[in-house]
Chain A
Amino acid sequence: MPLIDYGNGNPAIADDAWTHVADGAALPPDRPATISLERWKAERDGLSGRNLPLGVRLESHERIEEILPDLPRLALIALDFPNLNDGRHFTTARLLRERYRFGGQVRATGQVLRDQIDLMRRCGFDAFELAPGKDGASAAAAFEEISVVYQPAADTRPTAAQRRNRPPEQAVAG
């Protein structure tokens, strides 16, 4: 599955260092791993000895609020999009970044398509596991398509209103 990593402020096709581990399967001894929210809640105490990065996967109906105190222990939150219509995790990502100040990776998984990833990035996602069969290199161009944003979000892009009302010496033409 192609992974686009936007962690450094530039989209790059990356090799995935992470393994998504199914419930009941053993965690790899040498690689960072993600587990489901349910498993995390059941095993979090037992996992305190592990010194490889850990991540948690949330399905679209699951709430990040369930594990807020655990966020400092987690290096990655994977938010799943089961289909093209379920937009709940756009909100989850913004809350993670803007309200809970999560600094690890926020990764979109599932039905992740080129034409949604720029909106996802604005909400705070910084890694995108594209749906199977999708071309990562051409998808990265999606981040360049729209250069004007009207509303504040989890990214740091100045909004149109902020650009318009800047002091004159900073104003950019257009």
Chain B
Amino acid sequence: MYAYDALDDRLVRERAAQFRGQVARRISGALSEDEFKPLRLRNGLYLQLHAYMLRVAIPYGLLNADQLRALARIARRYDRGYGHFTTRQNIQFNWIRLEDAPDILEDLAAAGMHAIQTSGNCIRNTTTDQFAGVAADEIEDPRPWAEIIRQWSTLHPEFSFLPRKFKVAISGSPNDRAAIAVHDIGLSMARAPDGGTGFRVWVGGGLGRTPMLAEAIRDFLPGEDLLSYLEAILRVYNAEGRRDNLYKSRIKILVSALGIDRFRELVEAEWALIRDSALRLNEAEISRIRAQFAPPAYEVAEARQFAARRMEDTAFARWSTANLFSHKQPGYAAVTVSLKPAGGIPGDITANQMVALADLADEYSCGEIRVTHRQNLVLAHVRQDRLYDLWRALDSLDLATPNLMRVTDIVACPGLDFCGLATARSIPVAQRLSERLAEIDERHDLGELTINISGCINSCAHHHVGHIGILGLEKAGAESYQVTLGGSSAEDASLGKIIGRGFSADEIVAAIETIILTWLEQRRDGERFLDSLRRTGPAPFREALYGQD
């Protein structure tokens, strides 16, 4: 994986020192809170309901074992001994003191990490497929390109005060595991007729109050032109995007107001003027970065033992069916470490678990850990003949719940327990649901079924693209949960539709249960929930939930 050179290292250290000065000026009163806010946001520091929250960047979700240990130290020293992984492949600490923030940034810098641009109206962390470099279906490993974007976007002088936040996602495979359709810019790796690599470019996706799927703006962009094209899009957006209304300031609104064809014309006209400039990537720099993502030295692994263990141990068999992803290297597998135990808080991990997992990564997976946009972790390079030992170790840490992409693999934002923008709680709903649904899944084998719960319309948990989406609102002083059905963020991306009136905090678990039981009556031989729903439409669910009213 990418290791900082002296320049990268210097930048993050200078940035930490700069923030130390800014915090000192805030504390002395030289900076007002209004003046300080954009500065702290660009260093990942939010003011939440009870304390500051620090969001640490995990570029494209990739960590080494020492970085995970550094995060554990931060959790112990400055927080309450745990962290929370987000749907943007980052980690958040919820109980931070302002005075400690500069020290934390310095500790991060020492580990080759930072919190730059993890919030604020600027270009955020670029996300990608958690199986990048591992998946057999990928055209090319997207991570070198994500690192190129990380560098280009870091402290970009022109795009640090955009109309609104800006998110880029990149998928190396036509099977989209990076949800590119719901990002401001989505990049999908593609091949030119002459064999060169590049991208299909999408623009204007996003969730929130006005969910939209991205539209294709360019069928093929040569890799060397990536940055000039991004710069052209951002420049048009910076100049033309609305700044008068927070809810209309994302690029999706601009794209839909102008229409994709007019928007494309503007971008292409700008691009023509900057394509041939210092932004063009040179082969030396691309190769330098690519070389750092070279596959690890794989060993010849034996598969027989794995099969035998699966026969012997049904719990292991169940876990390995649910949580393994096939690796392009024969004899290896990519393991998803579930952060969704029944009744747990989705995405939460204790410092002790982090340290133990870092050790397991060193022992079993080339010292590398990945964060998924569904708030789980991945050990991407595990020999199949060592899976059984790894599984036992994970199980003893309560990290082996066999539920990847299943009904208890719930994605949830922090909601009203922490977030200052929330209109309802999401964590307790996720906890109650996962306890209840674990049982039903056990009995009926529900297969792939995703549930996403957001605590307000900002949709951080992407509820519009959950097969079942839950949005927590506030109605007359009480929490009210709106349910959407039929969302997907995969290559068959779709936005869920509201099924009917909302449910109270007391009703919501039973309502979801009703939906699932209703589906089981409709289900044809092992069908996914989403496929049944697409076949039957919402009528049976509506009737079961609301009767004839």
CB distance from A6 to the nearest CB of B (A): 14
> Chain A interface mostly helix, strand, loop or mixed?
loop
Task: Determine whether the beta carbon of B10 is less than 8 Å from that of A85.
Answer: no
Chain B residues with Cβ below 8 Å from A23 are none
Task: Determine whether the beta carbon of A119 is less than 8 Å from that of B39.
Answer: no
CB under 8 Å from chain A, chain B span 1-31: 5-8, 10-11, 14-15, 17-18, 21-22
Task: Determine whether the beta carbon of A174 is less than 8 Å from that of B238.
Answer: no
> Chain B interface mostly helix, strand, loop or mixed?
helix
CB distance from A46 to the nearest CB of B (A): 31
Binary interface encoding of chain A residues 134-174 relative to chain B, with 1 for a CB under 8 A from any of its CBs, else 0: 00000000000111111111000001111111000000011
Contacts A84-B38, A85-B243, A115-B22; A150 near B152 (Cβ below 8 A): yes
CB distance from B426 to the nearest CB of A (A): 28
CB under 8 Å from chain B, chain A span 96-127: 99, 113, 115-116, 118-120, 122-123
Interface residue from A86, A90, A160 paired with B7 (Cβ < 8 Å): A160
Interface residue B524 (Cβ < 8 Å from any Cβ of A): no
Interface residue A20 (Cβ < 8 Å from any Cβ of B): no
Task: Determine whether the beta carbon of B285 is less than 8 Å from that of A86.
Answer: no
Task: Determine whether the beta carbon of A145 is less than 8 Å from that of B14.
Answer: yes
Contacts A85-B38, A85-B121; A90 near B157 (Cβ below 8 A): yes
Interface residue B257 (Cβ < 8 Å from any Cβ of A): no
CB distance from A135 to the nearest CB of B (A): 8
Contacts A85-B121, A161-B285; A150 near B235 (Cβ below 8 A): no
Task: Determine whether the beta carbon of A90 is less than 8 Å from that of B5.
Answer: no
Interface residue B278 (Cβ < 8 Å from any Cβ of A): yes
In the assembled complex, the Cα of A115 lies from the Cα of B154 at a distance in Å of 16
CB distance from B54 to the nearest CB of A (A): 19
Chain B residues with Cβ below 8 Å from A119 are 155, 157, 160
Task: Determine whether the beta carbon of B278 is less than 8 Å from that of A159.
Answer: yes
CB distance from A141 to the nearest CB of B (A): 9
Task: Determine whether the beta carbon of A91 is less than 8 Å from that of B235.
Answer: yes
Chain A residues with Cβ below 8 Å from B282 are 161, 165
Chain A residues with Cβ below 8 Å from B284 are 165
Chain A residues with Cβ below 8 Å from B7 are 148, 160, 163-164, 174
Contacts A99-B273, A152-B278; A174 near B10 (Cβ below 8 A): yes
Contacts A150-B151, A164-B7, A174-B10; A94 near B285 (Cβ below 8 A): no
Interface residue A87 (Cβ < 8 Å from any Cβ of B): yes
Residue of A whose beta carbon sits closest to that of B234: A91
CB distance from A99 to the nearest CB of B (A): 7
Task: Determine whether the beta carbon of B243 is less than 8 Å from that of A147.
Answer: no
Interface residue B80 (Cβ < 8 Å from any Cβ of A): no
Residue of B whose beta carbon sits closest to that of A135: B30
Chain A residues with Cβ below 8 Å from B273 are 99
Residue of B whose beta carbon sits closest to that of A159: B278
Task: Determine whether the beta carbon of A164 is less than 8 Å from that of B157.
Answer: no
Task: Determine whether the beta carbon of A88 is less than 8 Å from that of B239.
Answer: yes
In the assembled complex, the Cα of A174 lies from the Cα of B13 at a distance in Å of 13
Task: Determine whether the beta carbon of B161 is less than 8 Å from that of A146.
Answer: no
Binary interface encoding of chain B residues 209-248 relative to chain A, with 1 for a CB under 8 A from any of its CBs, else 0: 0000000000000000001000000010011000100000
Chain A residues with Cβ below 8 Å from B157 are 90, 118-120, 122-123, 151, 153
Task: Determine whether the beta carbon of A146 is less than 8 Å from that of B35.
Answer: no
CB distance from B82 to the nearest CB of A (A): 32
CB distance from A75 to the nearest CB of B (A): 24
Task: Determine whether the beta carbon of B34 is less than 8 Å from that of A84.
Answer: yes
In the assembled complex, the Cα of A84 lies from the Cα of B161 at a distance in Å of 8
Interface residue B288 (Cβ < 8 Å from any Cβ of A): yes
Interface residue B412 (Cβ < 8 Å from any Cβ of A): no
Contacts A115-B39, A160-B7, A164-B5; A91 near B288 (Cβ below 8 A): no
In the assembled complex, the Cα of A115 lies from the Cα of B157 at a distance in Å of 12
Task: Determine whether the beta carbon of A90 is less than 8 Å from that of B18.
Answer: no
In the assembled complex, the Cα of A119 lies from the Cα of B155 at a distance in Å of 8
**B17, B159, B243, most chain A CB atoms within 10 A:** B243
Residue of B whose beta carbon sits closest to that of A119: B157
Interface residue B508 (Cβ < 8 Å from any Cβ of A): no
Contacts A146-B14, A160-B8, A165-B282; A87 near B162 (Cβ below 8 A): yes
In the assembled complex, the Cα of A153 lies from the Cα of B158 at a distance in Å of 8
CB under 8 Å from chain B, chain A span 43-102: 84-88, 90-91, 94, 99
Binary interface encoding of chain A residues 20-45 relative to chain B, with 1 for a CB under 8 A from any of its CBs, else 0: 00000000000000000000000000
Chain A residues with Cβ below 8 Å from B153 are 151
Task: Determine whether the beta carbon of B156 is less than 8 Å from that of A151.
Answer: yes
**A94, A99, A150, most chain B CB atoms within 10 A:** A150
Task: Determine whether the beta carbon of A94 is less than 8 Å from that of B239.
Answer: no
CB distance from B231 to the nearest CB of A (A): 8
CB distance from B143 to the nearest CB of A (A): 17
CB distance from A146 to the nearest CB of B (A): 5
Interface residue B277 (Cβ < 8 Å from any Cβ of A): yes
Chain B residues with Cβ below 8 Å from A118 are 157
CB distance from B21 to the nearest CB of A (A): 8
Interface residue from B21, B39, B161 paired with A85 (Cβ < 8 Å): B161
Task: Determine whether the beta carbon of A150 is less than 8 Å from that of B238.
Answer: no
**B15, B35, B284, most chain A CB atoms within 10 A:** B35
Interface residue B279 (Cβ < 8 Å from any Cβ of A): yes
In the assembled complex, the Cα of A174 lies from the Cα of B284 at a distance in Å of 18
Nearest 8 interchain pairs by C-beta: A87-B161, A122-B157, A152-B278, A174-B6, A148-B11, A119-B157, A150-B151, A145-B18
Q: Which residues of B contact A (CB under 8 A)?
A: 5-8, 10-11, 14-15, 17-18, 21-22, 34-35, 38-39, 121, 151-162, 227, 235, 238-239, 243, 273, 277-279, 282, 284-285, 288
Pairs across A and B, CB under 8 Å, 18 listed: A84-B35, A85-B161, A85-B243, A87-B160, A90-B159, A90-B161, A91-B239, A115-B22, A120-B157, A145-B14, A147-B14, A148-B7, A150-B151, A150-B152, A151-B279, A153-B157, A160-B7, A161-B285
Further pairs besides A150-B154, A150-B155: 13, Cβ < 8 Å: A85-B243, A87-B238, A88-B238, A115-B35, A119-B155, A146-B18, A148-B8, A153-B157, A153-B158, A160-B151, A164-B7, A174-B6, A174-B10
